[in-house]
Homo-oligomer: A and B are copies of this chain.
Amino acid sequence: MSKNAQLLIRAGYVHKEMAGVYDYLPLGLMVIDKIRNIIREEMNAIGCQEVSLSALQDPELWKKSGRWADDFIDVWFKTKLKSEAELGLGVSHEEPMVRMVGQYINSYRDLPLYVYQFQTKFRNELRAKSGIMRGREFLMKDMYSFCRSEAELDVFYDKAAEAYKKIYHRVGIGDKTYFTFASGGMFSKFSHEFQTVCDAGEDYIYIDDEKGIAVNDEVMQDEILESLGVKRENLRKEKSIEVGNIFKYGTRYTKELEVRFKDEEGNEHDGVNGAYGIGLGRVMGTVVELFADDKGIVWPESIAPFKVHLIELLGKDNFDAVKAKSLEFYDKFEKAGISVLYDDRDLRAGEKFGDADLMGLPWRVTVSDRTLASGLYELKNRKTGEVKMVNEADLFKM
């Protein structure tokens, strides 16, 4: 089993329902929700509107775009109505989103329009062995832009790329994540992936450290590299995980699915479309793979389910006083707006410390008979392992 699934299951973040299908337990859902909020804030900041489309898909729609056939998209889950009519489970949402937007667009005044959702995608993968990083069912943020011209799309596309970079920095993987040139398909020379350098990756990228960008396999051709101003001999090959991708579709879908608008002179045009995806479980799994050590998970503060792991160690001596101090600290953290998980289980110190390391909250605070006597409390940083003894007042300033 992949490292991310092993650790997340042992630490109580996720539960494996079956191969490639995971449930999120309370702690795991908190991490997902923190990632979701970061993405939502960055999407809203560039003027996007949130919607929610259905999972069930109408075959007629996907036949129009040519993507219903299993030999075109080979990961469809298909099902049937009572009438025996076939339905699909959304592998992606270009078709329904484009068709829907087309029904609300008439004039150039209705554009540009940027729409996103957090929606479950279903993909019938032959194998599913990357833990929560490549599931048969997973939560994705997919955003779609509709512009009046290629120039307008180009400007927004760059803005979306910047928003994506902010997201990766905020979730803690920005330094290892590269804006990566990939092949573009029919309507644009390049698409782009965001690739995080990580040994657990299934991809390879080729990094130009000077420019701070990368290219993938598809782009490793001399004439293409030259057009990017990149030299093959300067590229460093690394294993990586794709944590996002963005495409310029142009009129690929808008022509077929009729997103048309009238310009100021009344002439009709096809809308110019882009698509922008991030898998939330993929990001969460990548963070685990990147930062975990031999003791367990290490969460960046921005997406940790709690900031502080408060550990009470009750012994024979001063049982009541230690208990009271632990409860007092719990309240004080809460009141200071510092999220705290309180381990009040009747277990030995070694077990509690082991679990804390496994769960990976940023700060561990221990209250015991010994710390109580000294008036100094043990504060441990999960990432660096550094231990400090701090007085009570300083604890609540972190």
Using CB atoms and an 8 Å cutoff, list the residues of chain A in contact with chain B. 12, 15, 17-18, 21-26, 29, 32, 49-56, 58, 77-82, 87, 89, 96, 100, 103-104, 120, 122, 124, 126, 136-137
In the assembled complex, the Cα of A33 lies from the Cα of B89 at a distance in Å of: 24
Known: A15-B100, A29-B50, A96-B23. A126 touches B56 (CB 8 A): no
A-B contact pairs, 8 of them (CB 8 A): A17-B58, A21-B54, A22-B54, A23-B51, A55-B120, A55-B137, A56-B136, A79-B89
Known: A23-B96, A56-B136, A96-B23. A51 touches B29 (CB 8 A): yes
In the assembled complex, the Cα of A391 lies from the Cα of B261 at a distance in Å of: 42
A24 contacts across to B, CB distance below 8 A? 51-53
Q: Judge whether A54 and B23 touch: CB under 8 Å.
A: yes
Q: Lowest 6 CB-CB distances: which A-B pairs, in order?
A: A24-B52, A77-B79, A26-B49, A23-B53, A79-B79, A21-B54
A56 contacts across to B, CB distance below 8 A? 17-18, 21, 122, 136-137
Q: Judge whether A17 and B79 touch: CB under 8 Å.
A: no
- Of the candidates B21, B79, B100, B124, the one whose C-beta lies within 8 Å of that of A23 is B100
Known: A79-B77, A82-B124. A26 touches B55 (CB 8 A): no
Given A56-B122, A82-B126, 19 more pairs with CB closer than 8 A:
A12-B104, A15-B100, A15-B103, A17-B58, A21-B56, A23-B54, A24-B53, A25-B51, A26-B49, A26-B50, A29-B50, A55-B120, A56-B136, A77-B80, A78-B79, A79-B79, A79-B89, A81-B124, A120-B120
A81 contacts across to B, CB distance below 8 A? 124, 136
What is the minimal beta-carbon distance from A116 to any residue of chain B, in angstroms? 10
A21 contacts across to B, CB distance below 8 A? 54, 56
What is the minimal beta-carbon distance from A332 to any residue of chain B, in angstroms? 21
A77 contacts across to B, CB distance below 8 A? 79-80, 87
A104 contacts across to B, CB distance below 8 A? 12
In the assembled complex, the Cα of A23 lies from the Cα of B93 at a distance in Å of: 12
A103 contacts across to B, CB distance below 8 A? 15
